[in-house]
Amino acid sequence: MKNPICYNKRLCRGRPSKAEGEWLPVYRIEQHPILPIPARKSISFSWKGRPVEAFEGETLSSALIAAGVRVFGHHAKDGAAQGIFCANGQCAQCLVLADGIPVKSCMELVRPGVRAEPAEGLPELPRVDAAALAAAKPRPIETLRVPVLIIGGGPAGLSAGIELGKRGVETLIIDDKHRLGGKLVLQTHRFFGSIDAVYAGTRGIDIATRLENEVRSFPHVRVWLQSAALAVYSDKTVGVLVEGRRYALVKPDVLLTTAGAREKNLAFPGNTLPGVYGAGAFQTLVNRDLVKPTGRLFIVGGGNVGLIAGYHALQAGISVVGLVEILPECGGYKVHRDKLARLGVPIYTSHTVLSVNGEDAVVSVTVARVDEKFKSVPGTERSFDCDTVLIAVGLDPVNEFHEKAREFGLPAFAAGDAEEIAEASAAIFSGKIRGLEVARALGHDIGEISPDWYRTADILKSHPGKTTPERTPAEATGVFPVIHCHQEIPCDPCTGVCPNDLIEMDETDIRLLPSFVGEKGGKGCTGCEKCVAICPGLAITLVDFRKDLDFPTVAIPFEFLKDSLKAGDTVTVEDTQGNALGRVEVGAVKAIKTNDRTVIVKVRAPREYANKIAGIRVQPAEVGEPLGRYVERTAEDTIICRCERVTAGAIRKLIRDGVRDINEIKAVTRASMGSCGAKTCTPLIHRLFREEGVPEAEIVDQPKRPLFLEVPLGVFAGLGEEDNGLDRE
Amino acid sequence: MTANRSYDVVIVGAGSVGAPAALSLAEAGLRVLVIDQYPSVGQGSNKRAIGGLRATHSDPAKIRLCLRSLEVFSTWEERFGDKIEWRKGGYSFVAYRGEEERTLKELLVVQKKYGLNIDWLDRQAFLEVIPDLNPEGLIGGTFSPDDGHASPLLAIHAFYSRAKKLGAEFLFNEKVTGYDIDGGRVRGVRTDKGKYGAAVVINAAGPWGMEMAALAGIDVPVRPDSHEGAVTEAVARFLEPMVVDIRPVAGSANYYFYQHDTGQVIFCITPSPSIWGLDVRETSSFLPMVARRMVDLIPRLRNLRVRRTWRGLYPMTPDGFPIVGWTHDLESYMLAVGMCGQGFMLGPGLGELMARMVLGKTDEKDRETLSYLSPYREFVGQEKLK
């Protein structure tokens, strides 16, 4: 390809191409500290008639993002710019025309030579060649009986599948993605939880591979990939879109729903601009597709999802301008929060987003401090230059299938986030238990499930517990680890790696804090650094006074490119919370094979603060500086239903008129009638009711009905792609 | 409990019939109360209707009522400003076999007699109306350009809002449990929450009409069966009329669909044999059955994405015609039930007729209309185009 182009020069801070006036796209992640960058075959396609470069096997949306495209079309109703939103096939915000056919670009793999065009207004229904269709032979819709159907091949579904496989129970796992693992495949960080129960200390992406390999070793467990559940019907049958193109009905004896979670959203002016989306979508683009949708990111929400997304952004070379959390403290693990703060990301607690600004794309975000009633405080507004705003304000279970199955009397179980929102480690364990319960429900003798298992499941699900004040060790001789972990969370990898067993935790509860015991049986710390490398929170350093009592060496875990630091560089070191301690010189940067991509950076630091050092700043302070004055968005475009473009004002008016039935709101405004199937707006409508002081008990919800995803009529008619009769002209 | 509120008319059911009837009664200056078991207007069968509106029936009663309804729907936005997504797209009945051609042509004679704007179009002319129709084996069909469609959701809300503005009261989440009857005359309505005096009580309870009549000791032959329907994504306009295919095949008697004002296609199927009862839970057999037929009829539909499916009730009567009239055994008790799936299109015209009945202002034509719909007719014969 001669002149691949970039459509967003504002973002394109990359290399100018040789051709006059053209820019080369740099929206790909070309190196990553954790993720391997596979060699992929280059193909070309066109966008608005101009050539674009892509990789074989990537989605059309990611190929477009890699080319700098952010606006995929404009809404038929009000001309609002549309861009990537869920990156998960659930909505239709990323609709584009591929050879004239409207497709969800996040689910459509890019084909060589495909002519892609933005979807402007209502798409034309593709014409078909009647003669080709006349020859088509529709296949009857297959009905398959299976003892167990598992919807969702993520941590919970795979763990359940493994237990069922071990017991020889015929099981079918369906998953809508191209590979198993669910959201594990997006997680580059090491997992928390228990080493014994849930692979703690291993990275999510690697757990996915282990679970997948294990589940695939059982002949009784079948897997259908790219296969989405569409509905649970009253005849106890589940409709499945198989491999994205064939419809099948599955009649299971037991349904296990492990479909995970969906992200909650927020209503504020500018909330549907292209570039405002969920942290999950972001992780998909960055960690799965290895594209760089943003250069300057702002995050709303200080739970684990938001904090981890910030970390992943930095690892991908994306600047994180800031993070706001409406509560006085971040709700996510303190170790995640601290890690992000140390890397140089400003975290604003008791702050909320007021608006995202821009016409067709995000150019800034405006935030403000909130009072104890969560109302923004005038005079505290600040705006930041950014091109993307992630909304990470919590998750809701994807439990429609479970609820329907229960309503229709189909024996049903749920595990993981579909049952209760918690960490992936909890999903792994609850899946395991539920797998056994399913086997038992089918009459298999599985013996007794240990009460300890249920207890472990509860512990893994638990929210962060109390935080104890930090106590910096006073020692100034020898070698010893400093544990910068002060909040009770379910996590124990550090307790299993010390060769002399010097890191201890109350064995009955992995939520308690670990402590370094100095010596045992005459053996003390050898300085092996294993504890430094294993901690998922990057919250253990090792201070070594043995060579120099005044300038001890501090070993710091570091999950960035090894080449980004070298001996002799000067870095800013920080305490646990991210307060700068001073500038010190890097002595060595070492990667050990067994360290699994965590690099250990050794710095020489003054004895006065060596024991306080917890991390190294990566992002320069100027990244987080606010704009000189704040930007006020005047447009009244707080959108509740993004599919049908229904504003908060329209719905609020109905609520104030006394409407309590969401069915009525739906009938009048069309909110929740759009392509995403009310998945995005329903929680937002509830939120509006709350804001208007209406008790939850007075609200009537609209019923959930098939289909979970929009599927072409031809698929239900039994027509396959080979007889598609598409008239591509 | 004592009746602390008294009304000229209490209507049981805020649906396709009850809501426009309330509007007509309120317009006439009567004190009207509408009681419904659901939390808001139109939550029974109205919201499940696909929105087709036609006057092209085969009997004078429905033709007359629906012609008036069409006037109301087609002029509503201009008169009152509410958007109800009315579109004059017409109705078309396709014929691919001699049987359907004969049936449709027979009906045409009757329909023409009543002055309806409907004609038989041959293959070529029919393809001009529906260019995407499968031409293979097509004989032609009937087309009535003055029929159309609108949003049941928006229309009923418009009727409801205007009725309220004119003083009609609505009570939701309230279930009628009985009637106050005195001297062979209904005097009021009792519910699970209260008691309301009424000079006239109207049963407009749709599929629950039989149950509501039974509370008054009246037996009405209304039995609901269920039909399943669905709506697709929105696409640019490619289809104007409602398309009805009356060829019976195993599993379904007929099916029909149209492209709504929003660009979405809404479709529905009539199961065969009928599925009787109040069950409206979605089934797995619906989509494969209807999709095969629709894609065969209009191949271009194959790429159109289905968004949502649901099931609704058709309150059927033995002969396929509604039951509207005063009851002989209980004075001041009116039945307006058994719309056989046509409550939405009958609603506004019927509502006005019901108001005239309450006011004692029916004319000769009304009385003729009512003779066809009488609760005391002999339920013989069968409506041809249900």
Q: What is the pLDDT of residues B328-375, one digit of tens each?
A: 999 999 999 999 999 999 999 999 999 999 999 999 999 999 999 999
Residues in chain B: 386
Q: How many CB atoms lie under 10 A from the CB of residue B253? A: 16
User: Rounded CA gap, A402 and A674, in Å?
Assistant: 23
Q: How many CB atoms lie under 10 A from the CB of residue A32? A: 19
User: Rounded CA gap, A700 and A360, in Å?
Assistant: 36
User: What band does A476 get if pLDDT is binned at 50, 70 and 90?
Assistant: very high
pLDDT at res. A6: 38
Provide mean pLDDT across the span A85-102: 92
pLDDT at res. A20: 41
What residues pair up with A593 in beta bridges, in sequence order? none
SS3 A71: coil
Closest among A171, A164, A162 to A199, alpha carbons compared: A162
- Contacts with B, A 216-235, CB within 8 Å: 231, 233-235
pLDDT at res. A18: 40
Question: DSSP states of A291-349 as a string?
Answer: B---SEEEEE--SHHHHHHHHHHHHTT-EEEEEEESSSS-SS-HHHHHHHHHHT--EEE
User: Rounded CA gap, A281 and A86, in Å?
Assistant: 5
Residue B23 touches chain A, beta carbons under 8 Å:
no
**Per the omega criterion (within 30 degrees of 0), is the bond before B322 cis?**
no
User: Rounded CA gap, B190 and B178, in Å?
Assistant: 5
pLDDT at res. A16: 42
pLDDT at res. A10: 39
- The residue of chain A nearest to residue B287, with distances taken between CA atoms, is A716
User: What band does A2 get if pLDDT is binned at 50, 70 and 90?
Assistant: very low
**Per the omega criterion (within 30 degrees of 0), is the bond before B104 cis?**
no
Instruction: Return all residues near A514 (Cβ < 8 A) that are at least 6 apart.
Output: A483, A485, A492, A494, A495, A503, A504, A505
Asked if B302 and A124 come within 8 Å (Cβ–Cβ), the reply is no
SS3 A395: strand
**Identity of the residue in A102, A237, A707 whose CB atom sits nearest the CB atom of B309:** A707
Residue B194 token pair: 């209260």
DSSP state of A480: E
Q: Indicate if the alpha-carbon torsion angle A516, A519, A521, A525 is positive or negative.
A: positive
Instruction: Return all residues near A44 (Cβ < 8 A) that are at least 6 apart.
Output: A1, A51, A52, A53, A54, A112, A113
User: Rounded CA gap, B347 and A4, in Å?
Assistant: 61
- Are B239 and B310 within 8 A, CB to CB? no
Say what percent of chain A tops pLDDT 70. 95
Instruction: Return all residues near B261 (Cβ < 8 A) that are at least 6 apart.
Output: B85, B86, B87, B149, B150, B151
Residue A126 touches chain B, beta carbons under 8 Å:
yes
Strand order in the sheet with A351-357: A351-357, A364-369, A382-385
**Identity of the residue in A101, A125, A233 whose CB atom sits nearest the CB atom of B283:** A233
- Contact residues on chain A for B39, CB-CB shorter than 8 A: 660-661, 663-664, 700
User: Rounded CA gap, A235 and A143, in Å?
Assistant: 12
Question: DSSP states of A50-69 as a string?
Answer: EEEEEETT-BHHHHHHHTT-
What is the least distance, in Å, from the CA of B312 to any CA of chain A? 13
Q: Which whole-number Å values give the CA distances from B159 to A43, B152, B295, in the listed order?
A: 58, 10, 36
Provide mean pLDDT across the span A415-420: 97
SS3 A97: strand
- The residue type found at B338 is G
Residue B275 touches chain A, beta carbons under 8 Å:
no
Please tell me which residue, B167 or A11, carries the higher pLDDT value.
B167
- Contacts with B, A 656-675, CB within 8 Å: 659-661, 663-664, 666-668, 670, 675
Run of H or E including A603 = strand A599-604
- Contact residues on chain A for B281, CB-CB shorter than 8 A: 233-234, 407-408
Task: Share the mean pLDDT of chain A.
Answer: 92
- Contact residues on chain B for A663, CB-CB shorter than 8 A: 39-40, 43, 47
Asked if B40 and A125 come within 8 Å (Cβ–Cβ), the reply is no
- Contact residues on chain B for A94, CB-CB shorter than 8 A: none
| pLDDT surpasses 70 at B293 | yes
**Identity of the residue in B234, B263, B302 whose CB atom sits nearest the CB atom of A712:** B302
pLDDT at res. A273: 97
Chains A and B: how many Cβ contacts under 8 Å?
Answer: 154
- The residue of chain B nearest to residue A247, with distances taken between CA atoms, is B288
- Are A380 and A353 within 8 A, CB to CB? no
Chain B interface disruption, residue of A125, A139, A655, A701, most B CBs within 10 A: A125
Per-residue pLDDT of A307-328, as tens digits, reads 999 999 999 999 999 999 999 9
**Identity of the residue in B238, B288, B309 whose CB atom sits nearest the CB atom of A705:** B309
**Identity of the residue in A407, A712, A718 whose CB atom sits nearest the CB atom of B303:** A712
DSSP state of A410: -
Please tell me the least confidently modeled range out of A171-175, A653-657, A719-723: A719-723
Provide mean pLDDT across the span B6-16: 98
What is the least distance, in Å, from the CA of B236 to any CA of chain A? 5
- Contact residues on chain A for B40, CB-CB shorter than 8 A: 659-661, 663-664, 667, 700
β A246-257/A142-151 pair status = parallel
Closest among A620, A508, A601 to A555, alpha carbons compared: A601
Run of H or E including B333 = strand B333-337
| pLDDT surpasses 60 at A21 | no
**Identity of the residue in A121, A408, A706 whose CB atom sits nearest the CB atom of B308:** A706
CB-count exposure of residue A479 (10 Å: 0-12, 13-18, 19+): buried
End-to-end CA distance of chain B: 44
- The residue type found at A310 is G
CB-count exposure of residue A591 (10 Å: 0-12, 13-18, 19+): middle
**Identity of the residue in B39, B41, B288 whose CB atom sits nearest the CB atom of A141:** B288
- The residue of chain B nearest to residue A703, with distances taken between CA atoms, is B310
- The residue of chain B nearest to residue A724, with distances taken between CA atoms, is B302
Residue A357 token pair: 């600004």
User: Rounded CA gap, B348 and B362, in Å?
Assistant: 16
**Buried-exposed string A243-261: b where 16+ CB fall within 10 A, e elsewhere:** ebbbbbbbbbbbbbbbbbb
Residue B191 touches chain A, beta carbons under 8 Å:
no
Residue whose tokens read 């402590």: A515
| pLDDT surpasses 70 at A594 | no
Task: Share the mean pLDDT of chain B.
Answer: 96
**Identity of the residue in B234, B301, B307 whose CB atom sits nearest the CB atom of A76:** B234
Q: Which CATH number fits domain B88-146+223-313: 3.40.50.150, 3.30.9.10, 3.40.50.2300, 3.40.640.10?
A: 3.30.9.10
Instruction: Return all residues near B348 (Cβ < 8 A) that are at least 6 apart.
Output: B20, B24, B68, B69, B72, B73, B159
What is the least distance, in Å, from the CA of A240 to any CA of chain B? 11
- The residue of chain A nearest to residue B309, with distances taken between CA atoms, is A706
Domains of chain A in start order, with CATH, are 1-126 (3.10.20.440), 142-262+397-461 (3.50.50.60), 279-393 (3.50.50.60), 479-624 (no CATH), 639-698 (1.10.10)
Chain A interface disruption, residue of B43, B287, B308, B309, most A CBs within 10 A: B287
pLDDT at res. B247: 96
User: Rounded CA gap, A76 and A466, in Å?
Assistant: 51
Per-residue pLDDT of A279-291, as tens digits, reads 999 999 999 999 9
User: Rounded CA gap, B100 and A667, in Å?
Assistant: 37
Distance of CA A366 to the CA centre of its chain: 24
pLDDT at res. A136: 77
What residues pair up with A484 in beta bridges, in sequence order? none
φ/ψ (deg, to 5) at A379: 95, -10
Run of H or E including A408 = none
Closest among A326, A223, A91, A239 to A705, alpha carbons compared: A239
Asked if A125 and B305 come within 8 Å (Cβ–Cβ), the reply is no
Say what percent of chain A tops pLDDT 90. 86
Provide mean pLDDT across the span A579-585: 97
Provide mean pLDDT across the span A421-435: 95
Residue A226 token pair: 């790219």
Q: Is the ipTM of this complex over 0.90?
A: yes
- Are B265 and B304 within 8 A, CB to CB? yes
Domain ranges, ordered by start, for chain B = 5-65+152-222+319-373, 88-146+223-313
Considering the domain delimited by B5-65+152-222+319-373, tell me its CATH architecture. 3-Layer(bba) Sandwich (3.50)
Q: Which whole-number Å values give the CA distances from B136 to A361, B11, B257, in the listed order?
A: 49, 50, 20
- Contacts with A, B 113-152, CB within 8 Å: 134-136
Provide mean pLDDT across the span A531-536: 93
H helices within chain B, ranges in order?
A: 18-27, 60-80, 98-113, 123-129, 152-165, 209-214, 286-297, 343-359, 364-373
Please tell me which residue, A137 or B12, carries the higher pLDDT value.
B12
pLDDT at res. A89: 86
What is the least distance, in Å, from the CA of B54 to any CA of chain A? 22
CB-count exposure of residue A359 (10 Å: 0-12, 13-18, 19+): exposed
β B264-272/B251-259 pair status = antiparallel
User: Rounded CA gap, B190 and B180, in Å?
Assistant: 7
Residue A596 token pair: 């699994």
Per-residue pLDDT of A680-726, as tens digits, reads 999 999 999 999 999 999 999 999 999 999 999 999 999 976 555 55
- The residue of chain A nearest to residue B289, with distances taken between CA atoms, is A717
**Identity of the residue in B154, B283, B307 whose CB atom sits nearest the CB atom of A710:** B307
Provide mean pLDDT across the span A602-626: 96
pLDDT at res. B111: 95
